[in-house]
Amino acid sequence: METINKNPSRVLEVNKEVEAMGVKIIDQYAVLGPYDFVTIVEAPDDITVARVSVMLGSRGTVKITTLRAIPTQEFVSGLRKTS
């Protein structure tokens, strides 16, 4: 937060780094509550997202919580196949 306070555009610089690693940033929000930002991304696979999380987390300046989103229709279809 100290870095962002001194240089707010750092958020956008990190976004460019993330995109260079093959992850497309769909949207991003600064939020109030237990988290500071919510970033919605699209990646070719879970390993790519994991690599970005490790890279950013290893800096020690951010804690990341990753949630994989499954489109509702895909979720419902998947449940029907196992029933």
pLDDT tens digits for range 25-35: 999 999 999 99
Picking from 48, 47, 38, 46, the residue whose alpha carbon sits closest to that of residue 18 is: 48
22 phi-psi bin (left φ>0, alpha ψ -120 to 50, beta other): left
With bands split at pLDDT 50, 70 and 90, how would you rate the model's confidence at 81? Answer: confident
Residue ranges per domain, the chain?
2-82
Q: Does domain 2-82 have CATH number 3.90.580?
A: no
With bands split at pLDDT 50, 70 and 90, how would you rate the model's confidence at 3? Answer: confident
Average pLDDT of the chain to the nearest whole number: 92
With bands split at pLDDT 50, 70 and 90, how would you rate the model's confidence at 82? Answer: low
Q: Is the pLDDT of residue 72 over 80?
A: yes
